[in-house]
A and B are shown apart, each in its own frame.
Chain A
Amino acid sequence: MKQLIDFFKDHPTLARLIFFGTIGGVVIWSLTTDTSHGHSWVEKHIPAFWSIFGFISCLVLIFFARWFSDSGIRKGDDYYGD
């Protein structure tokens, strides 16, 4: 495991190539998938719908979480006197 991680650390371009290549491969495969089994209209008619949905979902969660944290719910580490 350590060797594998070190290998990718030493070859960042290769790591990125595999990473983006996999994402591209998934998108291309999704375009060839039969979407008639989708549950809703958007799934059936928007190409690579779940890619867009997944990405937007993460953005919503990340930025909402950050806003929520900065809105005053984050207090000092020993707030409760632990």
Chain B
Amino acid sequence: MATDCFFHPSLILIAGALVLPLIRGPFLKPYLFLIPLLTFGQVVYLSFSPGIYGQVSFMEWSLTFGRIDNLSIIFSIIMGLMAIIGTLYGLHVKNCWQHFAAWFYVAGSIGAIYSGDYLSLFLFWEIMAFSSTFLIWFNRKDTDSQAAGFRYLLVHTFGGLLLLMGFVLRYQATGSIEFNLLDYENAQIYTWLIMSGLMLNAAVIPLHSWLPDAYSKATITGSVFMCAFTTKTAVYTLARSCAGFDILIYLGVGMAVIGIIYALLENDIRRLLGWEIISQVGYMVAGVGIGSALAINGAAAHAFAHILYKGLLFMGAGAVIYCTGRSKLSELGGLHTNLPIILVFMVIGGISVSAFPFFSGFVSKSMIIAASFKAHFNSVAFLLTMVSAGTFLVAGLRLPALIFFGEQKSDFTDALPESKIPWNMLLAMTIASLLCFAIGTYYPILYSLLPYQDISYQPYNQYHLSETLQILAFTALAFFLFHKKLTAVAGTYLDIDWLYRKGGTIFQWLAEHPVQWFDTLWGKVYRVVGLYSLMTTAKFWSWFDWHGIDGLIDGSARGVKQFGTVIAKALQRGQIQYTISFTITFVALILLAFIWL
């Protein structure tokens, strides 16, 4: 039914964003709510009619803007839903350009998910990268946000170039720009380039450092959008093109472990949550790497659940920053009296990510772990379960404990009371909390959207409940015993971004020290050896020029002149008989010479 009237949902957001600066006064908030709602409505409408739409011929290629199938449906629906929640959360933001950038960002995400070829994918990929950069730059309260925005943009430009190189080389080799499953058995350099380009956006190690850096510097609303779209769109693209690439299993487990270790240390709330995104996306990447139907279902389900609870956690963190103006855990503490409602929201987010029964993480994360066991990757499954305990340690215990409990580490007399938090922020957090609970309790809402419907998975059984409750209970015990080891320590925790953040300083040091030393030494050598020998040589050539060259030429000239003068005096005496005599003699000599020679 949609074939004849395919209307791309991204166009609603793009057109809405372009008109947005003209909307004023009482129309603004209804308009801000309406556009994402229409987009979500269109996404849901299209999901009833899977198929290939929006095919456009461009030069010699056929571009596909509307590939609607089981895999793209679940991702596009959650992106549409998050667009509503995110915009609602930022409804009070007066800078319309922030909404403008956010809508373009979501348009890029949905566009990438619907793309059936690399060219349109690349177009939307870059729209996402550029528009989201503005969500960092608009944060005027942080002096480092400008630099962080440039770092983010440069890293994503690099990722975009990897993708571009990959699909151009693939087109040269195969003549196709179709965006489908790549051939892992006969992987070529372009396969790895494409995978690396997609991996960068999914923050797969070692291409992950941009995430905590950027998300902690964005505006409060900006980080709520950013935590949802870039990584999960990339997970979709990996599931589409790299399913079953077993290298992703190990990279995913590495992400999960490294992410949670940094999250256990981190002092900035949003950096901590950023590290936890890396950890949770690690589950999805590992699921994509396993590649079985259950694993892909698990990756998709976890992406869906993750967007909601991580959005909720970022919204809660944003509310804490909004009220207190502080984002360092070492400056917070004891806020349960000031912000009790935010505490409830953050605990719901925390227990959802920790896979508490009846909350969304329980029905999604376990699917990936079950798929690992089923595919006989037991060590992978045990490591992911270990990280699951670590996740509760971080998001369910450490984060709320350091923000809301213990002693207040700052004077919060200047902090806004909870009653000053805009209603729209509270409403957005309420919706996200209810969805986390609804998905965890009535999981068929989520499971009915999964790509492989013929795979059955039952999360609520006695064994799984017992396993989860044991892990959670003993994690709580470990926290009770060792919570002092997890206090917030002010500091910067070095990561791979050190290479490019300190790379300039290293270059400068190299220029100032060894290069400068060599240059000075070379100068001395030149003065002592080079200049002296040059002067000596120059003196010699000067002498030679003066006495040799000039002597020869000038001497010849003088000789010719003197000879000419002598000849002229001898021959040009003015007496005709001598002149005739010399002329005839000269002619006779020439004739003789001619005859003899």
Contact = CB atoms under 8 A, between A and B. Distances in A.
Interface in A1-48: 1-2, 5, 19, 22-23, 26-27, 29-30, 33-35, 37-40, 43, 48
A48 to B, nearest CB: 6
A76 B389 contact: no
A73 B260 CA distance: 15
Interface residues of A, number: 47
A66 B405 CA distance: 22
Contact of B477 (A34, A55, A82): A55
B460 to A, nearest CB: 13
Contact of B478 (A2, A58, A64, A79): A58
B494 interface: yes
A79 B495 CA distance: 12
Contacts of A60: 386
B172 interface: no
Interface stretch (B60-68, B126-134, B245-253, B482-490): B482-490
For the complex, would chain A's binding face be called helix, strand, loop or mixed by DSSP majority? Answer: helix
A62 B486 contact: yes
Contact of A62 (B461, B463, B485): B485
* Interface-centre pick from A29, A30, A60, A65 (highest chain B CB count, 10 A): A65
B595 to A, nearest CB: 99
A54 B470 CA distance: 7
B477 A75 contact: no
B70 interface: no
B267 to A, nearest CB: 8
Contact of B501 (A37, A51, A72, A80): A80
Given A1-B344, A48-B470, A55 B485 contact: no
A39 B373 CA distance: 6
Interface residues of B, number: 53
Contacts of B467: 43, 50
Contact of A59 (B473, B482, B493): B482
Contact of A54 (B336, B337, B389): B389
Interface string B450-491: 000000000001110011011111111111101001100111
Nearest to A79: B492
B390 A26 contact: no
B471 A33 contact: no
Nearest to A65: B264
Contact of A33 (B337, B385, B463, B492): B463
A74 B489 contact: yes
B491 A77 contact: yes
A33 B493 contact: no
A34 B463 CA distance: 7
Interface of B: 143-144, 260-261, 264-265, 336-337, 340-341, 343-344, 370, 373-374, 378, 381-382, 385-386, 389-390, 393, 405, 461-463, 466-467, 469-480, 482, 485-486, 489-495, 501-502
27 contacts: A1-B341, A5-B405, A19-B476, A23-B473, A23-B476, A23-B477, A26-B466, A26-B473, A29-B466, A37-B463, A38-B463, A57-B475, A58-B389, A58-B479, A61-B389, A61-B390, A61-B393, A62-B482, A65-B486, A69-B493, A73-B494, A74-B489, A75-B493, A75-B494, A77-B491, A79-B492, A82-B143
